Each structure stands twice: as structure tokens, then as C-alpha cells.
Amino acid sequence: MEIPQMMSVFQHGAILEGHLAQGAPPHIILHRGTPTSSCTGPLKLLEPALLFSWRCGSAPEVLLSTVRGLIGVSVKRKLVQNVPRCNQTARSLIQLYRRDQTNWLTYQHLNFLKRQYVTKNKSELHQRAVPKQAPALTILDEREDGVERQVQRISTIDPVVSQPEDVTNETPYVHVESEEAREARLDRQWKELKVNVTDLPDIYARLAKVKLTALVVTTAAAGFAMAPVPFDPLLFFVSCLGTGLASCTANSINQYFEVPFDSNMNRTKNRPLVRGQISPLHAVSFALACGVPGVALLTLAVNPLTGFLGALNIFLYTCCYTPLKRLSISNTWVGAIVGAIPPVMGWTAATGCLEPGALLLGGFLYSWQFPHFNALSWNLKEDYSRGGYRMMSVTHPGMCQRVALRHSVGLIGLSALAPVLDVTTWTFPLISLPINLYISYLAFRFYHKGNRNNARKLFFCSLWHLPMLLLLALTCKKPRRDPEDAALPSASLAS
Amino acid sequence: MASRVAARSLVCTRRMSAACSRQSSSGQAAPRDTAPKRSIFRPEATSTHDWIGPPNPLSNLRPIVYHVPENETELEKRLRHLRQDTEDWNHEFWTKQNVMFTKEKDAFIFSQLNAKGLSVCDEQGRRRALNAEEMAVFYKSFLDTNRVRHADYNREWYRRNFTITLLMARVALNNMWKTVTDRRGRKKSSTPTT
């Protein structure tokens, strides 16, 4: 930095110190002393530090020492020192800053805020501008509103911020937003219900739960690959495509049915229909546009059995599983069947008939579903309860743990059944034993002590366990004996 | 792709139905006043579409302000009223649900802490929370006591959702048909149409 710049920075530093000592928030301070733009550079560096320390409610000494570090290299060191003090807010703020350079806090943004704060401060220093509402309501919206306000004050980035884990640990947020500002902020969040064609691919991807669809297609592909017939790439591709389209349909209809429930659950409140990015009619049209060609493709290009299974799966998922979620815990079993059908579809696509081998692969998926879903739902009890979903983890927690354990152990049995049905060689139960034992061990721990940690461990294990199991099965696939080879010895014997 | 054609046609029908671009704010204010005042929305002066707002803090549902086109047909009016009515009904249910849940949860925590002989706030002034097993008792009882209410809401929601979507489909088809016949009428303006 040149000397004149350094001097003015020093002056500003002194002014800042003075204001901070009085306890005013950093936004005003940064404004009152900065007529020249040459100082916005170093001050930009300072803003995060001041915001961090102020947000965390740390003592004025920290702030003052931060200001004193303005001159020289110590600025950056102070920033680093302050960051570990308040991890949560720091992380989220850093994320915001790193996300988009063009949305960095600039002079213009602060200028806008200054107008509010200066007016507010001229009257009197309020801790809270709005009298605190009834506790029942604040607890409800504490999480959402607190995060939203935090984001809005810092920048005009879209408020997509990861929720703080523990709301109770957050220091009370000083609410100095005036009514006009709050209304203005809420007004800005109104969006026109107009379909933006450029956004459509992204919206469709989220509507169809494209990641889940990809996993479903993978299991169907595994079913196809495990079938004891010569591998036909074109048929493989067509059946994967058909399965994918059917899965997109089912997911879209599911989201269409569940709009008000999804809005109330944290996990699902950013779905396209909840946010109004497309209309319900549009979602249904998309579902039909995927489903009709998908099922037709499966029926005509593959075989009618696969087409029937695809249609059955769509029906089970949309008309049985989705409504049942709110009526009875048997939804989990129906959901397990829904998950088991894709590999069966893959097998029938390859062979054209329903064989025990197909049912075994379906059995793998069916049994796997229970440790996976029970562990996932264990940590979402509050959301499920408030949304009115009847899940085992909420209504019958003991059964939830038992069933997860039972089916994890059952996977070992199913792996042993594979060579008996000529699906794989005897190597498969042996090499899959370690991972099956591991998931059974985690399920046992979950059964023994059902706490959040065990549930989370079991869930994450199930995520890698299934792909590994299918991969091992594929590597141990029973080598196909050609019918000509079988015919030759008998022919030679005859002659 | 079929979906893109459908999307484009839906967008077109919306624009077609909005013959006049100006929307009178007084026309909007009237239905808003009768509806429960739950969002401070300033109606936009020029609008050709519906507007969707931020989630309501109580019900977590997003309010929609419906655009009233100039030549609104009977069908469109019915659709708009049904959507507005469903929105209000949904909002009422979820507000009641969320508020009830929070109140009962607090009452449960309070009674449990009292039974243990602990105060609501600990030494550092933070609210005490119960562990997951204790809270599970409350979650289960909340679901069980509200079982019938949830089932009824479910049935009603599915019925309304279907009706709204069917009406929307009918309106869209009507508008498309009108566009097609208008175009055909304009092309063959010299010859009489059969």
C-alpha cells in the first residue's frame, strides 16, 4: 500500500475504533468514515472479520484489536484467528462469499443498509425493533427466519443457506430491521409464476429426482447383467431407458401429490412444485410425457412382461406407497417391493421370463431397503410427526430396529442362496460375507442402542453396501454353459 | 420432445388468457381483503401472471396471488376460486397443525422436565432439551391423537388436487382451441366458415 493510502487507512482505523468502542454495529461504522473509494480495498478485508466477531457477540476487545490490525499484514492473521471462534456462522458466511465474487459485500449494498440503521440509531438503541411474539410461534420460525434474516442482511444472494445444526446454540440475533425493510424484503421474494424455458431442464431433473432415478436404473442394469443370457447392448440400452422414464414418471407424480407435505419438511421444501416453478398441470403433463413412452418402449421394444412390471411399479409407487405413507406403517413394505422390482425388470428384459434368479435379485433389494430406510427415518422423527407421516421409526420404534436387524442378517442368507439358484458361484457368499457382516453388525448396534449416531452410521453403510454387493455378484456370476457344448458330448456319446 | 411442446403451449395459453396486461390493484384487493390477512403483499401494478410469495412462517405454504384476466371465462373463474379456496383451506390446516405441534411439544417438554425436577432453562440460560428417546414418546402420541384428522385431510387434499388439475387441463384445452379457431377464422375471414 502507498503511504497516502496507508495514512488514510490509519485515520479510518481510528474512527472505526472509536465507533466500535461505543458498541455500534459494524455496518454503520464502515460507512460513516469512508468518503474515499481508495479505502474500500482494505476495508473489504475487514468487513468479514467485523461481521464474524459482531455476529458472534464477542467482546469489544476483539473488535478493537481487529481494528488495530488494519495496518499491515496482521489483518489477515486476525481474520484467521477470529474464524475458529464462531465456526457455524463463519462457515456459512465463507460459503456465501466464496460462492459468487460478484455478490461480495460492496459499498452500494452497505449504503442501502446504512439508510435503515442510521435512521434507527438516531431515535434510540433498541435491542429488538419488534416486540417478541408468543414463544410458540418464534420457536417454530426461529430456524427459518433467523437464517433468512442473516442472509438478507449480508447480501442479496438468494437465501439458499445450509441450516445451522443446533438453533439453541446460536446467540440471539439482534433484530433491528424496520417494518418497511421487512416488507421490502418480503416483497422481493415474490416471484412471477412464469415458466422460464431455460430453467426447465433443471426443474425437470429435480421433479424427476434424477439422482434416485439413476440409482434405480443401475439396479435394473445389474439385473440385466446378471441374467444368464448373451449380453445384448441395444436391448440393454432400451430397457435402461424405459426403466429410467418409468422412474421419472413415478417420482413426478409423487411430488405432485405431496406438495403441502413437502413444504413443511425441511428435506423437501425446495422442490419445484413447492416453490411454484411449474404448475401442477405441467408436472402431470411431464409425468405422462415420460411414462407413456417409457412403458410403451418397454412393452414394445423389450417385452410385454417388462412393460407390465414397469407399469405395476409406477402404480405401486404413486397410488399405494404415496397415500399409505400417511395412513399406515405398511408403506415401508410396499416401498421395499417398489425398490425390488427394477432388478427383476432388468432380468426379465434380458431373458423374457420371470425366473427364481430374478426374484433373488429382487429379494436383495427388498431386504436392503429396511436397514436403509429405517436408519434414514430414525433421524427425521420430528419432521415425520409434524407432517403426519406414519413411519415405523415414530410409531413403533422397537419394531423399526428389529426389522432393520432382521433384514440385514437376511442379506447373508440371500447371498448364500445365490449359488443354489445358479445365479453366482460359491465364491460370492464368501466374498460378500465381510460387507454383509459389517452391515449386520451396524444393524445390531442400532437395535441395541437406537441413537442418532448409530442410525446415521447404518444409513451411510447401506449407501455403499448395495453397490458393492451387486458388483461382487456380477464378478461372481456363474459362467454360462453354451447349449452346443452340452449337446456335443451327448452327440459324441450317441455316435 | 413432447414435454417441451406441452410447456410451450402452456406458456402460450397463459399469455393468451392475459389479453390485457394491466391488472387493477383494486380488483386484487377485494378478494385479498376477504381472505385471511396473513401476508403483507403489495400488488404489482403490471402483471400477466400469477405471483407466488415466500413461505408463510406459520403454515410454510407459499401464497399465490391470482391474476384475473380481462375476458375471464366461467371455467377460469371456477378454477381460480377453487385454487384460492384450497390455498386458504390448506393454510388453515397447516397453521393449526404447526402451532398445535409446537405448543404440545413445549407442554410435553415442560411436564417432563417438571417430573424430573429440572427447570426449563439451565445454568447458562439455554433451554433444556430432552433426548431423542423421550421426545419419541411425544411424536408417537401426536401422530396417534391426530390420526383421523390427518386421514380426512389427506382424502380432501387428493380430491381437491385432482379437481384443480382437471380444471386446469380443461382451461388450457379451451384456450388452445380458442387460439386455433381464432387463427383459422382470421385466415379465412373472406370465406364464410361452416
pLDDT tens across A43-66, in order? 455 455 444 445 444 444 544 455
Is the complex ipTM more than 0.85? no
- How many Å apart are CA A90 and CA A52, to the nearest integer? 6
Residues from chain A that touch B139, judged by Cβ atoms under 8 A, are 381-382, 384-385, 394
Query: Residue A46 and residue A19: Cα distance in Å, rounded?
Result: 15
Q: Do A263 and B62 touch (CB under 8 A)?
A: yes
Q: In terms of Cα–Cα distance, which of A255, A284, A257, A190 is closest to B49?
A: A190
Would the CB atoms of A286 and B168 count as touching at under 8 Å?
no
Give me the mean pLDDT over the A238-250 stretch: 95
Task: Please give the backbone phi and psi of residue B46, each rounded to the nearest 5 degrees, phi first.
Answer: -105, 125
Taking the C-alpha atoms of residue A248 and residue A216, their distance in angstroms, rounded to an integer, is 10
Q: What residue in B sits closest to A266 (Cα-Cα)? A: B60
**B174 CB within 8 Å of a chain A CB:** no
- Co-location of A337 and A366 in the same domain: no
Those residues with Cβ within 8 angstroms of residue A472's Cβ, 6 or more apart along the chain or in another chain? A428, A431, A432, A435
| Contact by Cβ (8 Å): A359, A430 | no
The Cα B123–Cα B114 span in angstroms is 16
Taking the CA of residue B136 and the nearest CA in chain A, the distance in Å comes to: 6
One domain, residues A209 and A348: yes
Does A136 or B79 have the greater pLDDT score?
Answer: B79
Sheet order of strands, B64-65 included:
A191-192, B51-52, B64-65
pLDDT of residue B39: 47
User: Which of A203-212, A214-223, B13-22 has the weakest average pLDDT?
Assistant: B13-22
More confident position, A177 or A258: A258
Residue A424 carries which DSSP code? B
pLDDT number for residue B188:
82
Nearest to A390 among B41, B136, B143 (CB): B143
Listed in sequence order, the residues at least 6 apart from A196 whose beta carbon sits closer than 8 Å to its beta carbon are none
Q: Which of residues 442-481 of A touch B (CB under 8 A)?
A: 450-452
Q: Are residues A323 and A416 in the same domain?
A: no
Q: Which residues are within 8 A (CB) of A332 and not within 5 positions of it... i.e. 6 or more apart? A: A369, A370, A373, A374, A391, A392, A403
Question: Which chain B residues in 92-111 lie under 8 Å from chain A, judged by CB atoms?
Answer: 94, 97-99, 101-103, 106
Q: What is the pLDDT of residue B50?
A: 80
Quote the number of domains for chain A: 3
**Are A85 and A49 contained in the same domain?**
yes
Residues A349 and A431 in one domain: no
The pLDDT value given to residue A493: 53
* More confident of the two residues A173 and A439: A439
Residues A335 and A360 in one domain: no
Q: Is residue A256 over pLDDT 90?
A: yes
Q: Which of A155-164, A254-263, B40-49, B185-194 has the highest mean pLDDT?
A: A254-263
pLDDT for the residue A294: 95
The residue type of A22 is: Q
Query: Do A382 and A288 fall into the same domain?
Result: no
Measured in degrees and rounded to the nearest 5, phi and psi for residue A90 equal -60, -50
With the C-alpha atoms ordered A409, A413, A415, A416, is the resulting torsion angle positive or negative? Answer: positive
* Domain membership flag for residue A421: yes
The 10s digit of each residue's pLDDT in A15-44 is 545 554 454 444 444 444 444 444 444 445
Q: Are residues A323 and A364 in the same domain?
A: no
Question: Are residues A276 and B64, on separate chains, in Cβ contact within 8 Å?
Answer: yes
Share of chain A above pLDDT 70, in %: 61
Count CB neighbours of A58 within 10 A. 16
For residues B132 and A372, which has the higher predicted lDDT (pLDDT)? Answer: A372
Beta bridge partners of B51: A192, B65
Domain end residue (candidates: A52, A80, A95): A95
Residues of B in contact with A266 (CB under 8 A): none
Q: Which residues in chain A touch residue B132, judged by CB atoms under 8 angstroms apart?
A: 381, 451-452
Q: Taking 60 as the threshold, does the pLDDT of residue B85 lie above it?
A: yes
Q: Which three cell numbers stand for residue A125?
A: 438503541
Asked if residue A432 is part of any domain, the answer here is yes
Q: Residue A162 has what pLDDT?
A: 43
Asked if A210 and A80 sit in the same domain, the reply is no
Q: Give a yes or no: residue A101 inside a domain.
A: no
Crossing angle between the packed helical segments A233-257 and A331-351, to the nearest 10 degrees: 160
pLDDT higher than threshold 80 for residue A483: no
Instruction: Give the pLDDT band (50/70/90) at residue A233.
Output: very high
Cβ–Cβ contact A383 with B under 8 A = no
Residues A226 and A368 in one domain: no
Rounded to a whole number, what is the distance in Å from the CA of A276 to chain B's nearest CA? Answer: 7
The confidence score (pLDDT) of residue B116 equals: 82
- A194 domain-assigned: no
Cβ neighbours, 10 Å, residue A300: 12
Average pLDDT estimate for A221-243: 93
pLDDT in the model for residue A446: 93
DSSP secondary structure, chain B, as one string:
-HHHHHHHHHHHHHHHH--SSB--HHHHHHHHHHS-----PPPPSB-SS-EE-PPPTTT-PPPEEPP--TT--HHHHHHHHHHHHHHHHHHHHHHHHHHHHHHHHHHHHHHHHHHHT--SB-TTSPBP---HHHHHHHHHHHHHHTHHHHHHHHHHHHHHHHHHHHHHHHHHHHHHHHHHHHHHHHHTSSSPP-
Does the structure show a pLDDT above 70 at A432?
yes
Q: What is the pLDDT of residue A471?
A: 93
Backbone angles phi, psi at A65, to 5 degrees: -65, -30
Interface test with B, best of A185, A198, A262, A263 (most B CBs within 10 A): A263
B151·A327 Cβ contact <8 A: yes
pLDDT digits (tens, 9 = 90+) for A414-424: 999 999 988 88
Contacts of B62 in chain A (CB under 8 A): 263, 274-276
Residue environment code for B134-147, b if the CB has 16+ CB neighbours within 10 A, otherwise e: ebbebbbebbeebb
CATH of the domain at A462: 1.20.120
Output the domain CATH number for residue A220: 1.10.357.140
CA proximity to A119, closest of A27, A206, A220 = A27
- pLDDT tens track for B2-60: 444 444 444 444 444 443 333 333 333 333 333 333 445 555 545 677 888 888 888 88
Determine the Cα–Cα distance for residues A11 and A14; give it in Å rounded to an integer: 5
> Does residue A9 lie within any of the structural domains?
yes
- The alpha carbon dihedral of A292, A293, A295, A301 has a sign of positive
Kindly tell me if the per-residue pLDDT of A77 is higher than 70.
no
In A123-142, the residues whose Cβ lies within 8 Å of chain B are 135-137, 139-141
Q: Is A59 in CB contact (< 8 Å) with chain B? A: no
- A286 contacts B6? CB cut-off 8 A: yes
Domain end call among A333, A353, A373: A353
- Enter the DSSP assignment of A1: -
- pLDDT, tens digit, 9 for 90 and up, residues A341-377: 999 999 999 998 899 999 999 999 999 999 999 999 9
Side chain identity at residue A81, one-letter code: Q
- Are A39 and A154 a contacting pair, CB within 8 Å? no
Domain containing residue A277? 200-353
A261 shares a domain with A321: yes
- What residue in A sits closest to B63 (Cα-Cα)? A190
B-chain residues within 8 Å CB-CB of A450? 133
Picking from B60, B126, B133, the nearest residue to A263 by CB comes out as: B60
| Nearest Cβ partner for B49 among A183, A192, A256 | A192
Q: Which residues of A touch B60 (CB under 8 A)?
A: 144, 263-264, 269
Task: Say yes or no: B39 contacts chain A, CB-CB below 8 A.
Answer: yes
Q: Does position A155 have pLDDT exceeding 90, yes or no?
A: no
**Secondary structure in 3-state letters for A235-293:** HHHHHHHHHHHHHHHHHHHHHHHCHHHHHHCHHHCCCHHHHCCCCHHHHHHHHHHHHHH
The CA distances from residue A310 to A52, A100, A207, A357, in Å, are 53, 43, 19, 18
Q: What is the pTM of this model?
A: 0.65
Is pLDDT above 50 for B154? yes
State the cell numbers at A352: 423374457
As a whole number, the mean pLDDT across chain A is 75
User: What is the number of other CB atoms lying within 10 angstroms of the CB of residue A215?
Assistant: 16
Q: Which residue has the higher pLDDT, B96 or A17?
A: B96
Other CB atoms within 10 Å distance of the CB of residue B188: 11
Q: Judge whether B75 is closer than 8 Å to chain A, CB to CB.
A: no
Please identify, among A95, A130, A146, the residue that sits at the C-terminal boundary of a domain: A95
Give the whole-angstrom CA distance, residue B30 versus residue B38: 15
Looking at the structure, do residues A322 and A388 belong to the same domain, yes or no? Answer: no
Cross-chain Cβ contact B158/A276 below 8 Å: no
Instruction: Judge whether A492 lies within some domain.
Output: no
Interchain CB distance below 8 Å, B7 and A386:
no
A80: which residues sit within 8 A by CB, 6+ positions away?
A: none
Q: Distance (Å, rounded) from C-alpha A138 to C-alpha A167?
A: 12
In a domain, residue A168? The reply is no
